[in-house]
Structure 1
Amino acid sequence: STAMPTIIKELNGLDLYAWVTTSYLLTSTVMVPIWGKLGDLYGRKLILIIGIVIFVAGSWLCGLAGEFGDMPLVGNGLMQLIVFRGIQGIGGGALFTTAFATIADLFPPRERGRYAGLFGAVFGLASVVGPIVGGYFTDHGSVDIGGMYVAGWRWCFYINLPTSIIALAMITLKMPNLGHTGGGKIDWFGAIFVVLSIGALMLALTWGNEKGWTSPTVLALFAFALVTGVIFLMIERAVKEPILPLELFKISAFTTTTIASFVISMAFMGTIVYLPLFLQLGLGIQATNSGILLLPLMAGLILSATLSGRYVTRTGKYKGVMLAGPVFQFVGIYLMSQLTTESAQWDVVWRLFIVGVGLGPSQSLFNMVSQSAAPLRQIGVATSTSMFLRQCGGMIGVSIFGAMLMSKMAETISKQFPGVKVDIGEMQKMAMTAGESGQTMSPLLEGFISKTITEAMSYIFTGSLIIVAIAFVCVLFVPQIQLRGRGPGQNLEKAAESASPEGPVTPDEPARAVRAD
């Protein structure tokens, strides 16, 4: 994310900023339930290996984006990156859902809190290292290899190759093959219609600001998304083995945690994607330093994810921790909305830490509760359904907040230059290239661009506050399920069988909500 402003400058297209993230989220999201079902049928290990291979191929292509000249249908520059990010997302969709399903395969509900917290902490650590390394590569990684210039931002994608190969070797050698049930089939018709529905919705949200929300194109896309979405739900009700089992939503704990996770992901992804743009163009911070400034956010996330996981493992209670998350997020985001172009870097640091503390429980606990509430035979598909809707929330958040950002910037510019058509992308490029090759920009224009970005981000923060408040209300309705751990000498299989709220759960029986106090 710290490399994005530079990528936009080199490949051109601020209006497509959101799509670099959205294309990844779109393909990874629609693949989540498919990968989850495939994991149930053929085993988690095989699916994880296939996912990593596709992810590596996509990463390599992303690093080469813009080097192919004009490609048929795809075009040049940023459009290539968007397409290749989509390929990367196909593989990426297998990683998270398979990891969470593996935790559910190995450990009973009471113990999942600890490992889900550990997973959240590792995710947070990777999220800390990623922006810093990416920012460093962007600022200092440009090299000349055999007469060929390689821009620093490309290493943000190339670095995935060696790390993924190491992960692939460890999984191949050490991971047991879990979740293999054999038989069954994939709901391909459902998969096709969910892709059509979500794709049309994302296009409508992205083009709405550009073409007008009441334009025939945008209205047609919304209508198409609605119709294909209804058809998808009809298919899921009719088929024997749906990729998104609707009966799961009859379980209160599953439904409420999934909705809360969806809403929180909207606020988180919709905000975090645009933070580097705000830090670099709004506050004038270099890419490397903007990555470092994200450290406190991830530090807070790691701390709260780890502590909340341990607390749930020890007590079996999660409701209070879940409620605390949106409260901290609300306070942190509100404080972020008060930042101005004159704010110091320290003002950003401690605010982001508070936001991170609020995000920790959502990284570790929501999937744990939804898994615990689902029938044992549907652990894999329950995990993928929860992850699918969570990523849908993030994807919609990125699109909506992207539209808000562009709308607010256009409004600010039109007030300053009434009757004059100003290219926002060109303004952004001027800001990013100022100081390079002798180029200069007047302090007045530089200040105006900074002010425009800052005001637009304040608009996004306000929208995020509303969404977090809705998330808090959703969490209020999450029931407390009693989580049981493993008895003395009990193996993993027996532990899972007895991990329901009120004794053993049969393969078709969901967990029941009970008072745990």
Structure 2
Amino acid sequence: MTAQTIPHQYSTSERRVALAAVLIVLFLSALDQTIVATAMPRIVAELQGLDRIAWVGTAYLLSSTVTVPIYGKLGDIHGRRPVLVFGVLVFLGGSMLCGLAGEFGPLPLLGDGMNQLIVFRAVQGLGAGALATGAFATVADLAPPAERGKYSGWFGAMFGLAGLAGPVLGGFLTDHATTMVLGHQVSGWRFIFYVNLPLGGFALWILLTRLPHGSKSHDARVDWVGSALIVATFVPLLLALGWGGEGGGWGQTRIVLNVIGGLAAFALFLKVSIGKSWAVVPLDLFRDKVVARGNLALFLVNLGYMGVPMFLPLYLQIVRGMSASESGIAMLPLLGGVLVGSMVAGQVARRTQQYKPVIVWGGALALLAMAALTRTSAGQPQYLLTINLLVLGLGLGPAQGMFSLAIQSAVDHGRVGVATASAQFFRQIGATVGVAVFGALLTYNLSAELPRQVPQLTAAGASIGLSEAQTLAMDDRALAAALAARGDADPKVAAAAKAGLQASFAGSIEALFPVALGVMVLAFLVTLVVPGLLLRGRENPPLMEA
């Protein structure tokens, strides 16, 4: 049996302060995911790492994901505040290091600037895992399920606000924040990481001085073995995905060994977790259909969605010739839709005490929008892409909070932390796998497209690296210089090469959308079979099928 936890009874003033604190923390975490996307083309061009672009996102998501169950359990044991404070401190340290990546050239053990950025993003992710988990679990402390809809709406709004601010701020800083410091040029994209420091400092002050500790559990056992096995499962599998996309075939020894190792670790994880109520991911939670199906839906939704925000800015900047700022503005309809969709979903769930209709209608909208995105082409009018992104955001908005709300409603309060962590874990592992899968597909597609579309740069046995291809596609002078070095300075040849580079990136990125659509179809089918329960009020009546 699990130890029972008596919820902390928040006063009205405590509730307001706690909500403000966790909203700031959540904004900090969400902003760092969206602010990087529009800067990534410029970052990988400067650090020469297009072949590793997916790992910048994967490292962050993986490290934050594998620690989520641990943070959820520690929050149940020690209260939410110490976990959130620790998370902010680690997150800020990682942000500072990310801003310094590559500034001092190659470093021992870490290597070049791109490798440094990947490692430091992993450090950031270690802190971010505590932020999102602690924030969502604090909502469960603040109010019973029937009243959490409005809080979930606020949380969705924070995701939406970060989504609106991130791409624009990231693009603006990338384009305009480059400055000289003591005679050294600091690239504008570095400030997308430095901007976290003042925001994080303010959040840290609120957490230390205003946030109550909240509920604590009497069960103080932490499943460190299970936590290690989660890491041992997903790191090898994601490495295998990344290597497979680089070319050389999926039968490479290193890929096969990593897949076998990851699957073996997963089997061992299941063995050591069965029958253990205090496991890092308690398997008995998944006997509940809401928990099992809700988490599976979260995994699939985020897996299918990640190809859009991760690689569409690259498409807009290379294929449509937008600046970083312009591509950030072009992404606003998607993120504004998420903001509106999550707010509306929270209000509807609060008034009806039901979440099922909201997630079904949201899933249907997202599915239609993703189907429309498969028609994207270089010549498509911008307004059609804007409409598609807006509808996609409106459909995805309910998933930001409603699945977590459903899962929290299905468990006793003493297990809210681990249940919330399970939702956050499957949300983030879906995003992590999505970044890795779509990154591998992009790399594979480009490797096939470039020799066919740009013979001017690949003739006579010559090869062109993916990072070089991106640089040449974005910089006409660099393209002219590269052709001149190959003995061909004809402007017509340069124009043809530029068109070929754009066609390579266009075809490679457009090919990602049908894959995303297939995953979203599976996500919608799972959403349909998630049980609909009436949300509990303060009187805590038994759960009932809606």
| Aligned position for 1:490 | none
1:139 and 1:45 map into 2 onto residues whose CA distance is 37
| Aligned position for 2:485 | none
Task: Report if the CA contact (8 A) 1:201-1:225 is conserved.
Answer: yes
| Aligned position for 1:427 | 469
Query: Comparing 434-443 with 343-352, which one deviates more in the overlay?
Result: 434-443
Q: Is the counterpart of residue 468 in structure 1 residue 520 in structure 2?
A: yes
Pair 1:369–1:183, CA change in 2 (3 A): closer
Identity %: 38
The answer for unaligned runs of 5 or more in structure 2 is 1-36, 483-490
Task: Report if the CA contact (8 A) 1:97-1:387 is conserved.
Answer: yes
2:227 and 2:104 map into 1 onto residues whose CA distance is 31
Task: Report if the CA contact (8 A) 2:79-2:215 is conserved.
Answer: yes
Q: Is the counterpart of residue 103 in structure 1 residue 144 in structure 2?
A: no
Quote the offset at 1:117 in angstroms: 1.2
Task: Report if the CA contact (8 A) 1:300-1:355 is conserved.
Answer: yes
Per the alignment, in what secondary structure is the counterpart of residue 273 of structure 1? helix
The runs of 4+ residues in structure 1 deviating greater than 6 Å are: 436-441
Quote the offset at 1:69 in angstroms: 2.6
2:477 and 2:405 map into 1 onto residues whose CA distance is 50
Task: Report if the CA contact (8 A) 1:271-1:401 is conserved.
Answer: no
Per the alignment, in what secondary structure is the counterpart of residue 406 of structure 1? helix
1:474 and 1:239 map into 2 onto residues whose CA distance is 27
Pair 1:105–1:146, CA change in 2 (3 A): same
Per the alignment, in what secondary structure is the counterpart of residue 401 of structure 1? helix
1:280 and 1:439 map into 2 onto residues whose CA distance is 21
| Aligned position for 1:509 | none
Task: Report if the CA contact (8 A) 1:323-1:475 is conserved.
Answer: yes
2:382 and 2:90 map into 1 onto residues whose CA distance is 39
- AA at the equivalent of 1:153: W
Q: Is the counterpart of residue 272 in structure 1 residue 309 in structure 2?
A: yes
1:217 and 1:344 map into 2 onto residues whose CA distance is 44
Quote the offset at 1:420 in angstroms: 5.5
Q: Within 5 A, what are the aligned runs for 1:469-508?
A: 469-485=521-537, 495=538, 498-500=539-541, 502=542
| Aligned position for 2:49 | 13
Q: Within 5 A, what are the aligned runs for 1:281-430?
A: 281-416=318-453, 417=455, 421-430=463-472
Q: Is the counterpart of residue 22 in structure 1 residue 58 in structure 2?
A: yes
1:295 and 1:23 map into 2 onto residues whose CA distance is 25
Task: Report if the CA contact (8 A) 1:117-1:307 is conserved.
Answer: yes
Task: Report if the CA contact (8 A) 2:163-2:336 is conserved.
Answer: no
- AA at the equivalent of 2:474: M
- AA at the equivalent of 2:372: L
1:159 and 1:388 map into 2 onto residues whose CA distance is 27
Per the alignment, in what secondary structure is the counterpart of residue 278 of structure 2? coil
Query: Comparing 426-435 with 315-324, which one deviates more in the overlay?
Result: 426-435
Task: Report if the CA contact (8 A) 1:42-1:182 is conserved.
Answer: no
Task: Report if the CA contact (8 A) 1:322-1:475 is conserved.
Answer: yes
Q: Within 5 A, what are the aligned runs for 1:159-308?
A: 159-182=195-218, 184-210=220-246, 211-237=248-274, 239=276, 241-308=278-345
2:81 and 2:410 map into 1 onto residues whose CA distance is 24
Task: Report if the CA contact (8 A) 2:90-2:126 is conserved.
Answer: yes
| Aligned position for 2:4 | none
Q: Is the counterpart of residue 446 in structure 1 residue 498 in structure 2?
A: yes
The answer for unaligned runs of 5 or more in structure 1 is 486-494, 503-511
- AA at the equivalent of 1:139: D
Instruction: Give 1:77's match in structure 2, choosing from 113, 129, 150.
Output: 113
| Aligned position for 1:40 | 76
Pair 1:336–1:173, CA change in 2 (3 A): same
| Aligned position for 1:63 | 99
Question: What is the TM-score when the length of structure 2 is the normalising length?
Answer: 0.87
Task: Report if the CA contact (8 A) 2:245-2:439 is conserved.
Answer: no
Quote the offset at 1:434 in angstroms: 3.0
Pair 1:271–1:437, CA change in 2 (3 A): closer
- AA at the equivalent of 1:95: L
Task: Report if the CA contact (8 A) 2:243-2:255 is conserved.
Answer: yes
Task: Report if the CA contact (8 A) 2:472-2:478 is conserved.
Answer: no
After superposition, give the CA deviation of every residue in 1:150-185 in whole Å (9 maximum; x if it has no partner): 000000000000011111112222211113225512
1:207 and 1:120 map into 2 onto residues whose CA distance is 35
| Aligned position for 1:456 | 508
After superposition, give the CA deviation of every residue in 1:205-236 in whole Å (9 maximum; x if it has no partner): 10012242111110111000000111111121
Task: Report if the CA contact (8 A) 1:336-1:351 is conserved.
Answer: yes
- AA at the equivalent of 1:355: L
Q: CA RMSD in A?
A: 1.8
2:390 and 2:307 map into 1 onto residues whose CA distance is 18
Pair 1:153–1:166, CA change in 2 (3 A): same
Per the alignment, in what secondary structure is the counterpart of residue 144 of structure 1? strand
| Aligned position for 1:491 | none
Question: What is the TM-score when the length of structure 1 is the normalising length?
Answer: 0.92
Task: Report if the CA contact (8 A) 1:179-1:380 is conserved.
Answer: no
Instruction: Give 2:130's match in structure 1, choosing from 94, 116, 140.
Output: 94
Task: Report if the CA contact (8 A) 1:14-1:428 is conserved.
Answer: yes
Task: Report if the CA contact (8 A) 1:270-1:394 is conserved.
Answer: no
- AA at the equivalent of 2:513: F
1:421 and 1:107 map into 2 onto residues whose CA distance is 60
